[in-house]
Structure 1
């Protein structure tokens, strides 16, 4: 009998495993692939992190806690021979003054007293000549922004959890999760053999595979194909290497974002569009990238950086966004009668990785407290009518 079993050891699952193990719980992680794999939503060499959060100012307190936990994890990883996980570069966002990225960032920064500045176009073009904001754009600089390394984060969180006694089974597919009077039973397929795991609590952090395990809860999740590209610009090499993370809003809600040049598994300047993909599923995701998709990216980049629009193409990879209709996270306890020993977290894609250590802490709190929710209404599973019906409310 484990104290807790974590289903899915990606960004959030590895964080939950880490927090639970360090609190003294006997915890098992179940991962259907290998750790830090490239088949879900936690790969690609970099993820953006910032506090002036245009999505909603209510995320800022959670982000502040996440920053504390990132610093702690980064220090642990460096102390164990790593090269670091969390890098502060500053961040530049630009678009029309009425765009979501500008109005939302200003609202969050002012509401929470965050360090930021708005740059004149002349100053922005002088400081960041690799970008070309339009004459009608507003330029917002987030002093707190930067990036984290997703694969190495998962590896570090698992390693720290194992240091405190956690166990992880890779290449283990979870077939079903069944609540019992004293906890849960989890049927798995491991190395071609069927096995049953028993635990007092289950934490389900299965990403795009969540509907397969908790479909009857009716959490409205959509899975979307997204692409990441790596480019080698011929000019402004130093500026791209030393520059900030960046986001551009064209005024119609279409966002494109990117990172400084990183010497990762795929070296280059990584760029991607936000929520512009087609619906898919984990089993049908098209991982090929067509020349037409590369051409469309170049046309979009021409609006913000001719240097990137004309850059040499290095590589592209597909991943998945798994999102709710309101784009907010789902973190809470399964509210169905008899399912109180199941805690779930899903719907993070598009903006979730930066919260991973704090989400792990929230999940550990839910395991220990018996509370129904985190206390943050926009994370509550019961905000969805279908979940209310499933829970008989």
Structure 2
């Protein structure tokens, strides 16, 4: 009996030892997990995401990277699961500001004041702009030189410019309208140019309410679409521009049939350089240059969540590093987008101009309608189809 008791006692000690070892391992794994930065990307292109990862890994080797399904709304669950989220500035972020930790002031100080103000709520930054996209106008230099034309500064001058270019170009103005981002960028930019920034932001709110309740297209948005229709009826745009793809644009550019290209910087970069190198990019013309205006400028932002306080210092350090001179230079070079910080070398003069436009415009960088008025990507796509249908009537 005594031998059996000793055997049982030994077994208990062994089991207890194994349990303690396993518990120690679990606690260690859990502690490491809590120190590991979980960095997620939402609706960020593969190229930009890869550039971010490439530049973050050298100084944050323990970070783990994830991709959030961009076809679905950005959920509250994501803010509880990840430490840093990279996404575009949007209504989705402002609605969830209570789940977001504000960006430290010493990091925000690296940004021009207008760019910093674009992500503020009650004097706190809910996101850190890291890179800038932009909806721009690019004019074909050969036709402009042949016809001795000046780059248009207002919408009226743009119409006159397109009429003049129509002598040489089959399609004076080209927009890649089959792409939702390009469609929203063009319509948003045209509306902001017509109404100035303050009325544009009112229109963003009107569209937000209209799409939520399935109301008709807001009045000022209809006015914008009607002005675009005028350009179509004058034969200054491709008659099927709302269905044009990137490949269609490449074909038309190759044959020198395009007088001006209106596109995002990111789309401009996707097109072969051999086709776009003779196009001079500039800010989209404003209807009234004396009024307060902004620039439609999608911003790749970094968001600090309140997910895990144990990684807060490390996450804040990552954001601070993202706006440093070297990092901004590297990210601009790798993504071909514009840097957001005041300093940091741009990949080229086009990207540098965009930073200047965003920093110098009285209203600073503005969201597109799709970012400012929609939180559900599927709903934004359905409304884009609604706009196409209206333009094609």
TM-score band, normalised by the shorter chain? under 0.3
For normalisation by structure 1, the TM-score amounts to 0.23
Question: Which structure has the bigger radius of gyration?
Answer: 2
Q: Which one scores higher on RCO, CA 8 angstroms, separation ≥ 6?
A: 2
Higher relative helix content: 2
Higher relative strand content: 1
